[in-house]
A and B are shown apart, each in its own frame.
Chain A
Amino acid sequence: MAGTGAHRARAQRRLRWVVLTLAAVFFGGPLWAMVVFSTSSPTGVTGATWRQLVDVRGLARAYPSFVDGVRVSAALAVLTVLLMLVLLVPTMTWVRLRLPRLRRPMEFLCLLPLIIPAIVLVVGLAPVYAWVTYFFGPSSVWLFLAYTVLVLPYAYRAIDAGLSAIDVRTLSEAARGLGASWPRVFWSVITPNIRTALMSASFLAVALVLGEYTIASLMSRNNLQVGIFQLGQRTPAMSVAVSLAALLLCFVLLVLLTLVGGRRQRRVSAHPVDLEENP
């Protein structure tokens, strides 16, 4: 048994390296082209654009709306992830446990934001946001309501995958049988078991919020990508450099997110609650 295990581990390692190397070439190619462009000049390789970018204080002075955009996007990311988790996790668990007939309608609803292109969705969002602005003011932070809707397709798919992999019914009934309240069930029983799924959903939410341009722009609001666009109008090399910097920033943020969520994973997944195997 140990022999096959070691053999399998070696085969898996080989596969891992082959697949990931090919993927790195495919995904790294265009990014490398962007780096080359942002450092090219008639006289050869130059770091001028990047040096300008790193001068954050100078940028902030010249483009105050860019700094405002960064701040707004940070708030938007946090609010969107929170609202998405609070809305989706209890509802999806609930539907699985008690209302299985709602599953298909919910799946379709959660796919709808992805089907309608943003340029058309804005037409429909405008009257709703007229009310939001009427009650809450024109601040760009209120975009988090629209962004939560935009993130539903991705988050639903990720969380659904997570919930399918665990036995929600047995877990929740066991917890209820031991006297836990429903909020306790969601927080202490369901959530830790779908950590990967929640991580995936949050990743996609953060990346979506930080990468979203169309809706913010068409509603004449300010966010990171709108600010980047304005910055990029300085020179084309700057627009490419800023986009790369934003990608890098988002990547670092997500890696940090994995550190926040990842540490408890090993402890939990080592002993998944497999009640069905131990009647």
Chain B
Amino acid sequence: MTAAVSTSQDVVVRTRGTRRRTAAAALGTVPFFAFVTLFLLVPTAVVVAEAFLTDAGAPTLDNLRALGSGDIVRALVNSVVLSGVTAGLGAVFGALIAYAVSTASPDGPLRRVVSAGCGVLAQFGGVMLAFAWIATLGLSGLVPTFLRDHLGADVDTSWLYGLSGFVLVYLYFQIPLMVIVFLPSIDGLRPQWREAAESLGGSTWQYWRHVAGPLLAPAFASSALLLFANALSAYATAAALNAQSTFLLPLQIGNAIGSEVVLGRQNVAKALALEMVVLVAVVMVAYAWLQRRAERWLG
């Protein structure tokens, strides 16, 4: 009832009162935007500006041109593939674990332990994570040593340092992140809806397909997007796991910004960062478009 009335009101030409209300409302967001401008937009602007300067400070497009080199294009493709795969797998496994946890009692110890554990592991990365995985699956790690001693099987462990190994290592922090970030959405599923679906004769599959699935889809997609960006910019873990190669974008950035040997490429690092920002912006635009289509389709 009320909804219909407000729609017709919206159609009426915007009065001065509406504009004033919007302006006053905007004022309420000033603290957030002021903070973000100072501590996020300013640093980003500095980085983006320096991407267009040489080391000496003269304006140039050379840094952007360097982005077209074969090395960097390959790194871009590898990064997108790695981030996409870990985002997809992390989202699926994370959602599964989040659902499993949500079926436990909300005040019980299982929920607490898993939530806390996922919170901790979501931020566990860098040199220690790489070391832990190499100590588990590397040539002298626990698993290959066990296999060699007890089953006589000599396994080739070099895959750990390539793309598939990276996927495994990245999933270690992607899955817990998904659990933490998706759990509130699953908690938002009212038990009444499940009961309503059942009372209308729906099966579990139909409940998930027609009720819970569409409701959770936007949150699932945005969480996957978060996972994508998370994997894209991971540097410390990648550098510790494979110090020889620069086959990922963050490794290229690390090389450009901190090289003892190849000098004068520090601003190429900033151009690379700009490329990553543009990449995620493109992904976000695609995701927003997809969401709008899906909303229309879901009614």
Given A113-B40, A116-B277, residue A124 in contact with residue B47 (CB < 8 A): yes
A157 touches B181 (CB 8 A): yes
Contact bitstring B4-29, A, C-beta under 8 A = 1, else 0: 00000000000000000110011011
B187: nearest residue on chain A (CB-CB)?
A196
Interface size on B, as a range, is 35 or more
Q: How far is the CA of A31 from the CA of B176 in the complex (A)?
A: 15
A116 touches B47 (CB 8 A): yes
Q: Which of A36, A148, A153 contacts B135 (CB 8 A)?
A: A36
Stretch at the interface among B56-64, B151-159, B253-261: B253-261
Answer yes or no: B284 CB below 8 A from chain A CBs: yes
A33 touches B28 (CB 8 A): no
The minimal Cβ–Cβ distance linking A248 to chain B, given in whole angstroms, is 9
Stretch at the interface among A41-49, A103-111, A133-141: A103-111
Q: Which of B26, B116, B181, B269 contacts A161 (CB 8 A)?
A: B181
The minimal Cβ–Cβ distance linking A118 to chain B, given in whole angstroms, is 7
Q: Which of B111, B222, B236 contacts A160 (CB 8 A)?
A: B222
B142 touches A36 (CB 8 A): yes
Interface size on A, as a range, is 35 or more
Which residues of the partner chain A approach B204 to less than 8 Å between Cβ atoms?
A: 8
Answer yes or no: B223 CB below 8 A from chain A CBs: yes
* Residue of B39, B111, B114, B185 with most chain A CB atoms under a 10 A cut-off: B39
Contact bitstring B21-49, A, C-beta under 8 A = 1, else 0: 11001101101100110111111111100
Q: How far is the CA of A120 from the CA of B172 in the complex (A)?
A: 24
A86: nearest residue on chain B (CB-CB)?
B31
Contact bitstring A148-188, B, C-beta under 8 A = 1, else 0: 11001110011011101110000000000000001000000
Answer yes or no: B100 CB below 8 A from chain A CBs: yes
Q: How far is the CA of A88 from the CA of B31 in the complex (A)?
A: 10
Answer yes or no: A230 CB below 8 A from chain B CBs: no
Which residues of the partner chain B approach A123 to less than 8 Å between Cβ atoms?
A: 43, 46-47, 50, 257, 270
Given A111-B280, A158-B180, A197-B184, residue A145 in contact with residue B39 (CB < 8 A): yes
B181: nearest residue on chain A (CB-CB)?
A157
Which residues of the partner chain B approach A116 to less than 8 Å between Cβ atoms?
A: 44, 47, 233, 273, 276-277
Q: How far is the CA of A121 from the CA of B188 in the complex (A)?
A: 35
In A209-245, which residues have CB < 8 Å from any B CB? 210-214, 239-240, 243
Which residues of the partner chain A approach B104 to less than 8 Å between Cβ atoms?
A: 16
A114 touches B226 (CB 8 A): yes
Q: Which of A95, A121, A196 contacts B183 (CB 8 A)?
A: A196
Q: Which of B22, B32, B122, B229 contacts A115 (CB 8 A)?
A: B229
Q: Which of B43, B225, B258, B276 contacts A124 (CB 8 A)?
A: B43
A160: nearest residue on chain B (CB-CB)?
B222
A20 touches B100 (CB 8 A): yes
B40 touches A32 (CB 8 A): no
Q: Which of A107, A112, A266, A277 contacts B277 (CB 8 A)?
A: A112
B97 touches A115 (CB 8 A): no
A109: nearest residue on chain B (CB-CB)?
B36
A207 touches B119 (CB 8 A): yes
Which residues of the partner chain A approach B229 to less than 8 Å between Cβ atoms?
A: 111, 114-115, 153
A204 touches B180 (CB 8 A): yes
Answer yes or no: B106 CB below 8 A from chain A CBs: yes
Which residues of the partner chain A approach B245 to less than 8 Å between Cβ atoms?
A: none
Q: Which of A164, A259, A266 contacts B219 (CB 8 A)?
A: A164
The minimal Cβ–Cβ distance linking B284 to chain A, given in whole angstroms, is 6
The minimal Cβ–Cβ distance linking A156 to chain B, given in whole angstroms, is 9
A33 touches B135 (CB 8 A): yes
Complex A-B: 17 CB contacts under 8 Å? A1-B195, A102-B29, A109-B41, A111-B229, A113-B40, A115-B232, A115-B280, A116-B47, A124-B46, A124-B47, A149-B39, A152-B36, A153-B229, A194-B184, A203-B116, A213-B236, A274-B192
The 3 closest A-B pairs by CB, nearest first: A165-B188, A124-B43, A203-B119
